[in-house]
Structure 1
């Protein structure tokens, strides 16, 4: 049985995280470790709160969210005890990751530096959710054939062995060799290939297409952003514009 750390934050949609987890539980027998980390500061980029907001007011928001979250977990029949901890989110998450196989986090609309920094310290596969619930059936692999996506797809195939067909999509990839495609074929996974090219397609075409799937597999952002040579921020753009949950291994 795999175990996933679900990180809840007061400015995210707890219902969305719970619904995504329930699919993982039903289809893949996942167990949840629910965690709420109380803030020591107001996160950067939270636009619906005043810049002069005090930690006391923040505590009120958090306490209200936590009570609603406990009620939600109980209503959904999820009996795992909600862990509430206090400290720096990155450090605490790294410690709790020792207890699990995956982590689930929710993208913030403003995609601030706190969120990106968190991605850089996560050392287990992560599922990023934002606007929809995944059925974990219609899978798209976004590949530049780099080291990061090679690592992600290897972990994905290992962690979800029942997935037997995917679509591989690339942007401006012109090399003859495609190691990700070769890997998928060797593992017996039926793979449809779609190549997007900026001489024929727009980025809007690209993002519209990937949002037709219910799970995106992509490389991590820990050192170099995906498609760095093209836009310097393509990996961040994918997270910002994807309505579909994302797996990063």
Structure 2
């Protein structure tokens, strides 16, 4: 059976991530797997200074020097809280008639998630990090490293009845359009394909590629002019109240700017809907 891995944390997006994860699992008839990683503290920068200065410490000593003595009682409390959180996830799935399983692990989030990437049909996780940064580090690195589709959640749940695809004609964009055509999750959703280009003729030529792929689908193809593709995509999404944005992870367009560009924070704050990122 296909599996949807739902990465949960005790933060403001806990409930939306669970809701979207269960929704995705039900829609594609997959098993929801709620996973939480109790992340181990990383070694501080001053550890390398200690080593360079001739003081060589064992790993445990180094961690102790940075974080103080290990508090086994505190670790047990964290584990109990995490177990209770996962039990709550399973209960929510049960209420919707979905049988779910859980995974609780200690260690590095990405190392642990990588162990399950071959089992995952899709990852669902909150877009914000533990420090409430707009694009969480784990979300960014999961997309870059795992090569598995990811649904980044940033709002309370609502059904996905429409999807906006940022299309620039690149290989990643073509792959994204093919994915939304075949995806069980988006079978009944209306597809909107948008190309941002100040050259209207060139834009229409680019959209012809998407039209051919989505022939026979409930789809609209939109050409808009503008100098900042991300801004135009967000404005169109807002004006038409669309439910989801889909994009390729490494296209030259929207998502690259979302993660790496100087306007990334503004774009993400204004997206207001989940983003489906294809590897």
TM superposition score category, shorter chain reference: 0.7 to 0.9
- 1:243 alignment counterpart: 272
How high is the TM-score relative to the length of structure 2? 0.69
Contact 2:160 2:244 survives alignment (8 Å): yes
Deviation of the 1:2 alpha carbon? 3.5
Deviation of the 1:239 alpha carbon? 3.9
1:156 aligned onto 2:180: yes
Contact 1:150 1:180 survives alignment (8 Å): no
Unpaired stretches in structure 2, ≥5 consecutive residues: 43-65
1:82 aligned onto 2:107: no
Q: Please list the CA deviations of residues 163-212 of structure 1 after superposition, one character each: whole Å capped at 9, or x if unmatched.
A: 4631112333633465565244334223322333237x997664243242
Counting matched residue pairs gives 237
Residue range with higher mean Cα deviation, 203-212 or 13-22: 203-212
Contact 1:157 1:163 survives alignment (8 Å): no
- Secondary structure of the structure 2 residue equivalent to 1:140: strand
Contact 1:221 1:235 survives alignment (8 Å): no
- Secondary structure of the structure 1 residue equivalent to 2:242: coil
Contact 2:211 2:221 survives alignment (8 Å): no
Deviation of the 1:60 alpha carbon? 4.4
How high is the TM-score relative to the length of structure 1? 0.77
- Secondary structure of the structure 2 residue equivalent to 1:82: strand
Contact 2:3 2:31 survives alignment (8 Å): yes
Distance in 2 (alpha carbons) for counterparts of 1:62 and 1:178: 55
Contact 1:139 1:166 survives alignment (8 Å): yes
Equivalent residue for 1:192, pick from 206, 210, 220: 220
- 2:57 alignment counterpart: none
1:129 aligned onto 2:153: yes
Q: Which runs of 4+ in 1 moved over 6 A?
A: 52-55, 222-225
RMSD of aligned alpha carbons: 3.5
Contact 2:193 2:210 survives alignment (8 Å): no
CA gap of 1:233–1:3, structure 2 versus 1, over 3 A, is farther
Q: Which has the higher helix share?
A: 2
Deviation of the 1:150 alpha carbon? 1.9
- 1:94 alignment counterpart: 114
Unpaired stretches in structure 1, ≥5 consecutive residues: 43-51
Residue range with higher mean Cα deviation, 86-95 or 106-115: 106-115
CA gap of 1:165–1:9, structure 2 versus 1, over 3 A, is same
Which residues of 2 match residues 42-191 of structure 1 at below 5 A? 60=77, 63-77=80-94, 78-108=98-128, 109-110=132-133, 111-160=135-184, 162-163=187-188, 165-172=190-197, 174=199, 175-176=202-203, 178-179=205-206, 181-188=208-215, 189-191=217-219
Distance in 2 (alpha carbons) for counterparts of 1:58 and 1:153: 45
- 1:22 alignment counterpart: 22
